[in-house]
Structure 1
Amino acid sequence: MSNLLVRAVRDEDAQDLFGLLALCFAEYPGCFVDPHGDLPDLVRPATAFAERRGAFWVVEDRRGRAGACVAVDFPQAGAAELHRLYVRSDMRRQGLGGRLVGLVEDHARGCGAERMFFWSDTRFNDAHRLYEKLGYVRGREIRDLGDISNSREFFFEKALV
């Protein structure tokens, strides 16, 4: 990330973030972006994560557009939940996703979290390989979101201590 700008998300980034997610979702048949129904936190991302006592970062590409993002919040004492790890296809395979997860883990540790967890769509096999490489363990739990994409998600978890 040395030559990329990583910065806190702003509410004005909403359109770029929807574009980023639309590009990433388009790689998977039946995966759609529904900003108001399924992704309300992205309508005003800085505000949404501030209200959740979380943090959200954007990685800008050379044109100043959102090329990657990651977020975290703290839904329970001692635990952090990773959200919104997306990397545009032209920025992948360079270690960016792993570095963004590391950024979130460091932030979570600094906020007192002892474990990190998240849910990931069952179709995102490349992401699952990354998470497992980074030490996350997929649990047995699967949840159905009932969203426009008929998403089913795997649970992942890792100790941070």
Structure 2
Amino acid sequence: MEMVFDIRKATNRDGDQVATLIAEVFADYPGCIFDRAGEFPELDAIADDFSADHGCIWVVEGHGRVLGCLGIKFDPAQKQAELHKVYLDRATRGQGVAQRMLTKALDWLAQTHPDCADLVLWTDTRFEAGHRFYEKCGFTRTGETRILDDLSASSEYRFKARPNDVLLRIT
């Protein structure tokens, strides 16, 4: 049976379900620890958090629960957007849902911030399937890495693309 998904802008009320989703994704990766209060306080007002940074976040709903999320924030001074909170439930992967979320975010970015020159993201070095997805969509690894001061001792890779190049690759 094919699942039916609804992609919509997140509201602050979605924070608890987004937290559950992230915790489930982290559980798939050894050493990834989800600490909502300590490391994800923005989930308490997630839509406001993205809006404050000239951004927006979307959620994917299916069967009455949040199965995915993808957010984007924009820095007007740098003319740069950054993807954040890109998570998808394991059972939902491989069905084109991530591409649909990314397309929706890029369409919003083009309408809201047409002067955006670059699109970047940081992703945990352990999230190899995510790396393949980003590369398939036209992102390239910049060679930059960073280590976060978090409970998971996360190390991340930086990816970069031109917004129009990504949109052309996924549509």
Which TM-score band (shorter chain)? over 0.9
Which residue is 2:132 aligned to?
Answer: 129
**1:109 maps to amino acid:** A
Deviations for 1:73-128, whole angstroms, at most 9, x for unmatched residues? Answer: 11244211011111101111101112212222222222121221010000000000
1:158 maps to 2:161:
yes
Which residue is 1:66 aligned to?
Answer: 66
Structure-2 separation of matches of 1:123 and 1:157: 18
Tell whether the 8 Å contact from 1:105 to 1:116 is kept in structure 2 after alignment.
no
Which residue is 1:144 aligned to?
Answer: 147
Tell whether the 8 Å contact from 2:123 to 2:157 is kept in structure 1 after alignment.
yes
Which residue is 1:50 aligned to?
Answer: 51
Displacement after TM superposition at 1:12 (Å): 1.3
Deviations for 1:122-152, whole angstroms, at most 9, x for unmatched residues? Answer: 0000000000000000011100111011001
Displacement after TM superposition at 1:66 (Å): 0.5
Which residue is 1:86 aligned to?
Answer: 87
Tell whether the 8 Å contact from 2:67 to 2:88 is kept in structure 1 after alignment.
yes
Please give the secondary structure, in 1, of the residue aligned with 2:126: coil
Tell whether the 8 Å contact from 1:36 to 1:43 is kept in structure 2 after alignment.
no
Tell whether the 8 Å contact from 2:7 to 2:101 is kept in structure 1 after alignment.
no
Provide the identity percentage.
35
Which residue is 2:108 aligned to?
Answer: 107
Structure-2 separation of matches of 1:28 and 1:96: 21
Tell whether the 8 Å contact from 1:116 to 1:160 is kept in structure 2 after alignment.
yes
Where structure 2 has 5 or more consecutive residues not aligned to the other structure, the ranges are: 165-171
Displacement after TM superposition at 1:8 (Å): 1.3
Displacement after TM superposition at 1:3 (Å): 3.6
**2:57 maps to amino acid:** F
Displacement after TM superposition at 1:34 (Å): 1.1
Structure-2 separation of matches of 1:45 and 1:160: 24
Structure-1 separation of matches of 2:7 and 2:103: 13
Higher helix share: 2
Displacement after TM superposition at 1:39 (Å): 1.4
Q: Which stretch of the first structure deviates more once superposed, 16-25 or 38-47?
A: 38-47
RMSD: 1.4
Give the number of equivalent residue pairs.
Answer: 159
Structure-1 separation of matches of 2:127 and 2:138: 17
Structure-2 separation of matches of 1:136 and 1:95: 17
Structure-2 separation of matches of 1:81 and 1:109: 14
